[in-house]
Amino acid sequence: MRSESVPSSRDVVFVDGVRTPFGRSGPKGLYAETRADDMVVRVIRELIRRNPDLPPERVDEVAIAATTQIGDQGLTIGRSAAVLAGLPKTVPGYAVDRMCAGAMTAVTTVAGGIAFGAYDVAIAGGVEHMGRHPMGEGVDPNPRFLSEKLVDPSALVMGMTAENLHDRYPGISKRRADTYAVLSQERAAKAYADGRIQPDLVPTAIRTAEQGWGLAVEDEAPRPGTTLEGLSALKTPFRPHGNVTAGNSSGINDGATGCVLAAADVAAELGLTPKMRLVSYAFAGVDPEVMGVGPIPSTERALRLANLDISDIGLFEINEAFAVQVLAFLDHFGIADDDPRVNPYGGAIAYGHPLASSGVRLMTQLARQFGERPEVRYGITTMCVGLGMGGTVIWENLA
Q: Which residues carry out catalysis? A: 100, 353, 384
Cα–Cα distance for residue pair 382/281, rounded to 1 Å: 10
List the one residue out of 289, 310, 290 whose CA is nearest residue 299: 310
Cα–Cα distance for residue pair 46/231, rounded to 1 Å: 37
The answer to whether 258 and 104 are in contact (CB under 8 A) is no
The answer to whether 222 and 197 are in contact (CB under 8 A) is no
The answer to whether 107 and 45 are in contact (CB under 8 A) is no
Cα–Cα distance for residue pair 208/369, rounded to 1 Å: 36
Q: How far is CA 166 from CA 33, 121, 172, 175, 197, in A?
A: 37, 43, 6, 12, 31
Cα–Cα distance for residue pair 89/83, rounded to 1 Å: 6
Cα–Cα distance for residue pair 225/186, rounded to 1 Å: 7
Cα–Cα distance for residue pair 325/254, rounded to 1 Å: 22
- Paired with 213 in beta bridges are 207
Give 282's contacts (C-beta < 8 A, 6+ positions apart): 298, 299, 301, 302, 305, 391, 392
List the one residue out of 341, 291, 290 whose CA is nearest residue 312: 341
Cα–Cα distance for residue pair 397/399, rounded to 1 Å: 6
List the one residue out of 315, 337, 325 whose CA is nearest residue 286: 325
The gap between the terminal CA atoms of the chain, to the nearest Å, is 38
The answer to whether 231 and 245 are in contact (CB under 8 A) is yes
User: 229: helix, coil or strand?
Assistant: helix
List the one residue out of 76, 103, 70, 69 whose CA is nearest residue 92: 76
User: Left (φ > 0), alpha (ψ -120 to 50) or beta: where does 258 sit?
Assistant: beta
